[in-house]
Amino acid sequence: MDLLERTPNPNFTEEHLAFRDTMRKFVETEIEPFAAEWDEAEGFPRELYKKAAEVGLLAMGFPEEYGGLETDIFYLLIGAEEMARSGAGGVSASLLSHTIGAPPIKNVGNHAQKEKYLPKILSGELISALAITEPSGGSDVANLKTTARREGDHYIVNGSKTFITSGMRADVYTVAVRTGEPGMNGISLLLIDRDTPGFDRTPLKKMGWWASDTATLYFDNCKVPAENLLGIENQGFQAIMLNFNYERLWLAAGCISAARTCFNEVTGYARERMVFGKPLTEKQVVRHKLVQMAQAVNASQAYLDQVAWRIEQGEQPVADICMLKNQATETMEFCAREGVQIMGGAGFMRGPKVERIYREVRVNAIGGGAEEIMRDLASRQLGI
């Protein structure tokens, strides 16, 4: 049993808790024992997708008629939190890349598109990825430059995308393209299959998330059927923004759980590590560091649960989602930094969860909307 457990959420039912138990067993048996090995290998077996599908992890939040489970927001929190317990953010990022790649299919796709892709994605047969970020800019989505020109019953796509999670191994990509005027009103979403002529990709090396497959994508006169347009032409920006809110909530939940994981691993180490004849926990400075870590985790968890409850009531508290995302990444950074410091040389060596989490801090503070963008968006929503 962990010393610092998740603070109780009064909105969790017996069904939520049963799902948590299932997820915890899945992570403990199928991910945690292999996390360090997969990080070094910079990838994980494709069969893990089907194993994740079997426990319902891939199906959350998608319509039942396409193989999904129409769950509430609290299931999403549980999934993110339990996945983060392994300290293997890269595995979670790529295994669940469909949670950002497939929602536009669900939200704005037609029945034929949903029927073609969703059942195979949710069963782990197909891997889905989202392609928005470009070499010229990340958070400035409204000014993306990849173009899609309509020619008869096809779009001709030219441009590139970068930092794309599951960019190498994905089977289908939800790609943001410019089909109209400059700005947000000229953006559309296209589904592009991996074997489309003119489409190529190259892998990227990263600071953290080593087990996550990340790539740059290239489109050179890539011929995409017009029937692969998601929703209405030039109205893709709204679908992208809706996607971001849930991505940020998932990231926040995972970061807070990762911070808690740091606390639990480091506390266990400090109780056993002898310094000058006494355990590290006998040192006041170490005990105070651990208390500060627990305090930050519990405060951030309360904020997360409050925002999730408001969303479940039908609100879209954009400012709080942005501030929560930053609060969560700052908590993760603090706990990872203090955790490595307490463990000393052992924390600097590859293997401990805290070492992997430390390397993953910056990608969480950048991905899904950089900290600076989050503050600016929150300030506008607050009328500052």
Tens digit of pLDDT for each residue in 7-30?
889 999 999 999 999 999 999 999
Residue 140 has pLDDT above 90, yes or no: no
**Three-point CA angle 79, 263, 323, nearest 5°:** 60
DSSP H helices in the chain = 14-30, 35-41, 47-54, 73-84, 89-95, 98-101, 103-108, 111-122, 236-272, 284-312, 318-343, 345-348, 353-366, 371-381
In Å, the largest CA–CA distance within the chain is 79
Tokens of 287: 């005990």
Q: Which CATH architecture has domain 238-381?
A: Up-down Bundle (1.20)
pLDDT for the residue 89: 96
338: number of CA atoms within 13 Å, CB side?
A: 26
DSSP helix/strand/coil, 275 = strand
Average pLDDT rounded to a whole number, residues 259-283: 95
Question: Annotated active-site positions, please?
Answer: 247
Tens digit of pLDDT for each residue in 80-125?
999 999 999 999 999 999 999 999 999 999 999 999 999 999 999 9
Residue 137 has pLDDT above 80, yes or no: no
Query: How many whole angstroms separate alpha carbon 95 and alpha carbon 92?
Result: 5
Residue 246 has pLDDT above 90, yes or no: no
Asked whether this chain's domains 14-122 and 128-235 adopt the same fold, the reply is: no
pLDDT confidence band for 244 (50 / 70 / 90): confident
Core vs surface per residue 252-268: b (16+ CB within 10 A) or e: bbbbbbbbbbbbbbbbe
Class of 14-122 per CATH? mainly alpha
Which sequence spans correspond to the domains of the chain? 14-122, 128-235, 238-381
Tens digit of pLDDT for each residue in 158-206?
999 999 999 999 999 999 999 999 999 999 999 999 999 999 999 999 9
pLDDT for the residue 182: 92
Class of 128-235 per CATH? mainly beta
